[in-house]
A and B are shown apart, each in its own frame.
Chain A
Amino acid sequence: MKNFAYAIAPDISSASEAAVQGAQLVAGGTEILNWMRLGIVSADRVIDITRLPELSSIDRQGDEIRIGALATLNQIEGSDIVRQDAPVLSQACLLAASAQLRNRATIGGNVLQKTRCPYFRAEAATGDRMPWPCNKRVPGSGCSAREGDFSRAALFGATEACVATQPSDPAVALVALDAEVDLVGPSGSRSIPITRFHVTQSEAADLARTREGRRLLGGDAPETPDALIENRLMPGEIIVAYRFSVDTASRNSAYVKLRERESYEYAMASAAVCLDQSAGQVRQARVALGSIAQKPWRLSGAEAALSGQTLDEARLTSVLATAFSDAEPLPHQDYKVKVAQGAVRRALTKAGGSIQ
């Protein structure tokens, strides 16, 4: 990591302005420091945004919960408001990382994590020193994970260029909660649904051919390398908060994370479920899966198919089979479909659903 100039942001607009000029913003730092060590980013200026206390509160107003972007994962996990009205988010935060990292990691930065693909996370100060191809590190160089051994590759939305997955746990919960993301940028404030925040590789490829896609990369090159686009955050935009409505389904919600060791590990697949079930019938189910695509993967078709129905074994098996009928696991990773389906089943049960 090379040295850089360091300053504390006095307010959000000056942080945004600095980011437009190429400064790297840092809050918890639990991703950024590794990016700088590995050569994924290189910064001449680092701006500390942690001294903006108005961004760290967790409030409830009426039926809406607002979570400031600087709230740490442990603060959210331990919040009585979140535990009671959106347990899925509390559980997703608890099951992420370790106690030490959760004291640093903020929910603003958490959803901006990059893939855990080991080919992407090679240590190389510059692109010409990369030990193997990776289109996210050196656009056009190729994808080593397709030929290699990356067990957390995408089941949905991947392209020939990239099979990366988004590893965030809280993002999956926020998608199941239908949260809105509040953004502040150089041209003002806006909000977008978290379901639209991240993009898959194939969505990125479509975006890259548009003006919006080129703006996402802060450039105007006619050929935008689409493997670099992972979300719709514009240059200089900063996540300031998430908001979501409390409802019966959010109160009866759960997060299940399946992984190779019991704790302190990234998911093979995870599931967030918000479930409103009455007298055996599903009134509403919101289901999102993690670590199987470059964005939290919402099972909209399954949600519609379960609505108004009883949650019986035959129906669930059929609905889940349909939901994964267009999954495209890499060779030898068919098992991940079963793991992901199992995560949904367990999360439905954990959310209070009774499968008959």
Chain B
Amino acid sequence: MSDGIDRRSMLKGSTAALGAAGAAALGSASAQAQDVASPSGTPNVNTSITLNSTSRSFAHEARVTLLDLLREQAGLPGTKKGCNEGACGACTVLLDGERINACMTLAATCDGRSVTTVEGLAAADGTLHPVQRAFIEQDAFQCGYCTSGQVVSAVACINEGHAGSEEEIAEWMSGNICRCASYPQIIAAVQQAATEMEG
């Protein structure tokens, strides 16, 4: 943004304050149990990945998940943190072309591999990926929190050849939960994109 303040840094500032107050209210036990993989922790591993077609290297704590690395160190907050336990699919990314939950993957185990996030789907000139266009045209989201995971998962679902029917799409997209229940529109979007990509 032109004034140098964006939504993300605003939110970061306010949640940091909230987090401190919350931790105090809950007591230190709760605060210690939090899974906070701070980029400020002392790095003890180096991980090199091809991230959205660009070679990147990161020094980080070994406990850092791919999800936290992407969001906190790589500056790619498009991949969302929903449940952080492999139950919602909001953090879906492609690892060597296969869809995975970034929250269930230690960043260190990705060394030498290729990662594609939702930010890497559109063409360099900004032309949206057919799946992204289909999600817009089919109105396949409401709040939008799950959407980047849905879109990345749908790209893989189509590439795998699992978009042959509504039933097959529902089964193979079941790893992405939509709490607004836009499922009929999501299935329609996957079908539309599959037709375009396979055509």
Count, chain B residues at interface, CB 8 A: 41
Q: Does B89 contact A (CB under 8 A)?
A: yes
Within 8 A of A (CB), among B154-199: 156-157, 160, 162, 170-176
Q: Does A97 contact B (CB under 8 A)?
A: yes
Q: Which residues of B contact A203 (CB under 8 A)?
A: none
Q: Is the interface of B mostly helix, strand, loop or mixed?
A: mixed
Q: Does B9 contact A (CB under 8 A)?
A: no
Please tell me which stretch of A32-40, A235-243, A245-253 contacts chain B, meaning at least 4 of its Cβ atoms lie within 8 angstroms of it: A32-40
Contact in complex: A98, B44 (CB < 8 Å): no
Q: Across the interface, name the chain B residue whose C-beta is closest to A95.
A: B171
Q: Does A129 contact B (CB under 8 A)?
A: yes
State how many angstroms separate the Cβ of A264 from the closest Cβ of chain B: 4
Contact in complex: B175, A99 (CB < 8 Å): yes
Known: A39-B33, A264-B174. A4 touches B99 (CB 8 A): no
State how many angstroms separate the Cβ of A143 from the closest Cβ of chain B: 23
Contact in complex: B172, A99 (CB < 8 Å): yes
Contact in complex: A101, B175 (CB < 8 Å): yes
Q: Which residues of A contact B32 (CB under 8 A)?
A: 125
State how many angstroms separate the Cβ of A74 from the closest Cβ of chain B: 8
Give A108 to B170 CA distance when docked, in angstroms. Answer: 28
Among A29, A50, A123, A125, which residue has its beta carbon within 8 angstroms of that of B104?
A29
Known: A1-B35, A101-B101. A26 touches B92 (CB 8 A): no
Within 8 A of B (CB), among A256-307: 262-264
Q: Which residues of B contact A124 (CB under 8 A)?
A: 33
Q: Does B4 contact A (CB under 8 A)?
A: no
Give A2 to B63 CA distance when docked, in angstroms. Answer: 7
Give A26 to B100 CA distance when docked, in angstroms. Answer: 16
B residues in contact (CB < 8 Å) with A: 29, 32-33, 35, 37, 41-42, 44-45, 61-63, 65, 84-86, 89, 92, 95, 98-101, 103-106, 108-109, 153, 156-157, 160, 162, 170-176
What are 29 A-B interface contacts by the 8 Å CB criterion? Answer: A1-B37, A3-B41, A3-B61, A5-B44, A6-B44, A26-B106, A26-B109, A29-B105, A29-B109, A33-B86, A37-B35, A46-B62, A50-B109, A74-B98, A98-B174, A98-B175, A99-B99, A99-B173, A100-B101, A101-B175, A103-B95, A103-B100, A104-B101, A125-B32, A125-B33, A262-B170, A262-B174, A263-B171, A263-B174
